[in-house]
Structure 1
Amino acid sequence: MAKIPRTKSNDHSAQMSQTRRDFIEAQTGVALTHTGHYSVPEETLEGNIENFTGVAQIPVGFAGPMNINGEHANGEFYVPMATTEGTLVASYSRGMRLTREAGGVTTTVIDDAMQRAPMFAFKDAREALAFGSWVKQHFSSIKAACNATTSVGRLRDIEQHAVSKLRWLRFNFTCGDAAGQNMVSKATKAGCEWIMANYPAPIDHFVLAANLDTDKKHSHLNSLHTRGKRVVAEVTLPRQLVTDIMHCTPEALYKQRQYSNMGAMMAGSVSNGAHFANGITALFIACGQDVANVAESSAGFTFAEITPQGDYYFSVTIPSLIVATYGGGTGLATQNECLNVLGCSGKGSVNKFAEIVAATVLCGDLSLGSAVVSDEWVSSHERLGRNR
C-alpha cells in the first residue's frame, strides 16, 4: 500500500493536512469533509500529533454551576464536558445543583507523585539486598542527578520492591503543573545512569521500566501509594434536600451503596463507585488531558455514612488522578479555552483542576446513584439519551 504523505519540513500545515485528506480519499473512496473543517492553527499541533489530517469534533456541553470549597478551587464553576452520551451533562448538572444547595463540595489534594520504576537484576537475592541498602545511603546523589534534568520536577523518594534476585526502584517525583510522565522518564534515566556509573559491584541487568509504575493501566499499588494526584471530594447533604431534589431518602441511598459495594467486591472491580470514568473522560477530552490516563484515574473509592442528624455524608477518593494544566494538549486552542473557563490555565493551577475533577466525579456518582434508587435511571435515558 502507498505511504501516507509526509514532509520533513513544515509537516504541520494547512497544505499538508489537505494533501493527506486527498490521499485518504483516493485510497479509501471516503471524503473527509467534516474532518477537514477546524479552527485550530496547524502549526500549534507540532509535538501533539503526527500525520495531522484533520479534527474529530466531539460535542461539548457545560454542567453546573458547581460550588467547591477547596484548598485550591473555591467558588462556582461551569464545567466543560466533551461527550457523545446523552443524559450525561444533565445528570452531572443535577448532582451539581444538589451539592450547591447543600453548601458545596469540600475538596482536598492529599498526595502528589508521578513515577518511573526501573528494575535491576543481580546474581542472587543477597546482592539485590545489598544494592538496596546502597541506594538508600546514596539517595541525595541520585536525587541531584535526577533533579538536574528538569526545572520543575523534584525527586521525592524512592520506594523499593524486591522479588527473587530482582529489585525495582519506584522513583516518586512532584512535577509542578505538568502530568510529568516524560519528565520523570528523563529524570529517572539520569538517576539510573549515576547509579550504574557509581555502584561498586556488578549489576547483571538494568531496564528503565518494567511495568511496576503501571503507566496507563490500573494497579492496586497506585491506588494505595498514589500516581498523579490523590484527591478527596466530600459533602454532607441535608435529608430534606436529598428528598426534594433526588426523590429518595438518605437511608435508601445508603442501602444501595452497600449493595454496590458488595457487587464491586464480587466482580473484582477496581472501583466501588458508579461511573468515575464518565466525568473524568468528558473533562479530559474537553481540557486537553491524556485520555489514556483514564485507565488509572477512574479507579477509586466511595464512602458514605448517615449522620446522627439523618443527613447523608458522601465522599469520593481518586488515588491516581493524572492531570496537567501545562504541556501536552493543554495549550491547544479549544482545550485551553475550556481550561480558561475553569480558571486553570495559569501557573500553579494543577491542584485546582484536580479538585474540580474530583468534585465533578462526586456530583455524577450522586446523581446516578439517586436515579437508580428512585427508578429514574431508565426513563431519563429514554427522554434525553436516545438519538432519534
Structure 2
Amino acid sequence: MSRAPSIPRSSINDYSLDQATERREFLRAKTGVPLSAVGNYSLDPNLVNGNIENFIGTLQMPLGVAGPLKIQGEAAQGDFYIPLATTEGTLVASYSRGMRVISECGGCKTAVTRHAMQRAPVFLLGDVHVAKRFSAWLAENFQRIKSVAESTTRSGKLFEVEQYAVGNMIYTRFNYTTGDAAGQNMTGKATFAACEWIVENCPLSLKYLLSGSVDTDKKHSAMNLIRTRGKRVIAEVVIKNDVAKRLLGVDTATLFRARQISNTGSFQAGSIYNGPHSANGIAALFIATGQDEANVAESHAGITHSQLLDNGDYYWSVTLPAVICGTYGGGTALPGQRECLEIMDCYGAGKADKFAEIIAAVVLAGDISLGSAVLAGDWVSSHEQYGRNRK
C-alpha cells in the first residue's frame, strides 16, 4: 500500500521564505489550489517560530475598531478604542453602540478579584489509608513543594494546592499566579518539577499523572466557575433610563423584565453564561491580540446580574470567572497582534490585569447592545443591513 508523500520540511531553517513557498507549491500540486492569497504577506516567517509548524503563509482577517469605551477600573482607566477581528457583520457596530451607552453613563467600573492558573496532577496510592497519609504529608510539605515549583519560573508563584480524595487517589489543583502571561505552559513545567520532587522525597510509594483533568484546560467546568481559572474579573455599569430610551430604544424596566425571562431560559437550557453573547467579543478580541483562541472555551463562561434601581436606572454587571489572557508570550509579540495590544496600552509587563478588565468591559458593552436590540426589534434588521444577509 503506497503512502502519501510527507509535507516538505527543512532541518536547517523551516521558517524561511523559500521553505514556505516550497510547501505551498507542494499543496498546489496536490490540490490544485494556487494559495495566492495565503502566500501574499509581509510577515517575516522567522517571527512565527514557536507559534506554528509547517508555515505556509497567513490569513488576512478583517480588523475593525470599536469605541471609545470609558472604563473606571482598578487597572484600566480612561477611554479605550478596541480592536476586534471578525467576519461577522454588525458585530463591531453593535459593540460600539454598547460602548457609547456605557460612556454616556459615566463609564463602567472594573476589577480583577482573583488570580489562579492551575495544573492538576492526580496521585495514585495503594489504598485509602495510604492516600490519607499522603494528603497530610502533601499539606505539611507545601513550602518545600512551592520552592521547587517556583525555581522553574521567574513570574509564577504557587499559592495553594487543593486536594480532592477519590478512592485511593488524591486529585490536586496546583494554583499559581502567573504575572502577565496566561501561564498554562509555565504552570505545567513548574508542576512537573514539583511532582518529580514529591515522588523522590515522599516516604510513601506513589505514582502520578501530571493531569488528572480537574483543571479542565481548554474546557468549561463548574469547578472553574466557582474556583477561578486565569482571572476572575467583573465589569459593572449603571445605565440611565433616559440614555437607554434614547440610544437603545427600550426603557430600563423593560430591560429588567427581559433579564428575568432570559435568566429562566438560561437556567432551563443549562447555559454556562446567562447573558446574550460573551464569546463574540472575547473571540474577536483574542484573535486581534494574539491570545490562544481555544481559551474562549473557558473565558466566555460567567454570570450576568442586574438590578432595577429605585430611581429607575439599571445596574448591569458581568462576572467572568475564568478569563485566560496574557500581554506577553504566545502570539502577543507578532507585529499585528502587538499593535492591537498597543492600541489599548496593553502590551508587555504589568498590563495583564488591565487587559482582563477591558475584556470584561467589552463583554458588558456587547451584551447591552444585543440584549436591547432583541427587545427593540432591530436585531434582524441590523443583520439584514450590515451583516451576512445583505443583498
Q: What TM-score, normalized by structure 1, do the two folds share?
A: 0.99
For residues 265 and 130 of structure 1, the distance between their equivalents in structure 2, rounded to whole angstroms, comes to 41
For residues 147 and 35 of structure 1, the distance between their equivalents in structure 2, rounded to whole angstroms, comes to 42
Is 1:195 the equivalent of 2:170? no
Where does residue 344 of structure 1 map in the other structure? 346
Identity of aligned residues (%): 52
Deviation at 1:194, TM superposition (A): 1.1
For residues 57 and 263 of structure 1, the distance between their equivalents in structure 2, rounded to whole angstroms, comes to 38
Q: Point out where structure 1 has 5 or more consecutive residues left out of the alignment.
A: none
Where does residue 89 of structure 1 map in the other structure? 92
Deviation at 1:346, TM superposition (A): 2.5
Where does residue 146 of structure 1 map in the other structure? 149
Kindly report which structure 2 residues correspond to 1:292-307, keeping only aligned pairs within 5 A, or say none. Answer: 292-307=294-309
SS at match of 1:248: coil
For residues 78 and 27 of structure 1, the distance between their equivalents in structure 2, rounded to whole angstroms, comes to 44
Deviation at 1:9, TM superposition (A): 1.5
Equivalent of residue 115 in structure 2, options 99, 112, 115: 112
Is 1:378 the equivalent of 2:375? no
Where does residue 9 of structure 1 map in the other structure? 12
For residues 28 and 210 of structure 1, the distance between their equivalents in structure 2, rounded to whole angstroms, comes to 41
Which segment drifts farther, 25-34 or 125-134? 125-134
For residues 2 and 183 of structure 1, the distance between their equivalents in structure 2, rounded to whole angstroms, comes to 36
> In the alignment, is the contact (CA less than 8 A) between 2:111 and 2:233 conserved in 1?
yes
Is 1:41 the equivalent of 2:44? yes
Query: RMSD of the TM alignment (CA)?
Result: 0.8
Deviations 1:50-87 (A, max 9, x none): 00001111100000010100111110111000000000
> In the alignment, is the contact (CA less than 8 A) between 2:326 and 2:352 conserved in 1?
yes
For residues 60 and 277 of structure 2, the distance between their equivalents in structure 1, rounded to whole angstroms, comes to 24
SS at match of 1:253: helix
Deviations 1:194-218 (A, max 9, x none): 1111111111x31000211100000
Look up the equivalent residue of 1:287 and give its one-letter code. Answer: T
Deviations 1:183-203 (A, max 9, x none): 000000111111111111111
SS at match of 1:89: helix
For residues 178 and 221 of structure 1, the distance between their equivalents in structure 2, rounded to whole angstroms, comes to 22
Is 1:281 the equivalent of 2:283? yes
Where does residue 272 of structure 1 map in the other structure? 274
Look up the equivalent residue of 2:13 and give its one-letter code. Answer: N
Equivalent of residue 26 in structure 1, options 6, 24, 29: 29
Where does residue 174 of structure 1 map in the other structure? 177
For residues 115 and 11 of structure 2, the distance between their equivalents in structure 1, rounded to whole angstroms, comes to 39
SS at match of 1:335: helix
Where does residue 327 of structure 1 map in the other structure? 329
Deviation at 1:130, TM superposition (A): 1.3
Look up the equivalent residue of 1:230 and give its one-letter code. Answer: R
Where does residue 217 of structure 1 map in the other structure? 219
Q: What TM-score, normalized by structure 2, do the two folds share?
A: 0.98
Where does residue 71 of structure 1 map in the other structure? 74
For residues 20 and 89 of structure 1, the distance between their equivalents in structure 2, rounded to whole angstroms, comes to 35
For residues 304 and 125 of structure 1, the distance between their equivalents in structure 2, rounded to whole angstroms, comes to 46
Q: Which runs of 4+ in 1 moved over 6 A?
A: none
For residues 133 and 57 of structure 1, the distance between their equivalents in structure 2, rounded to whole angstroms, comes to 54
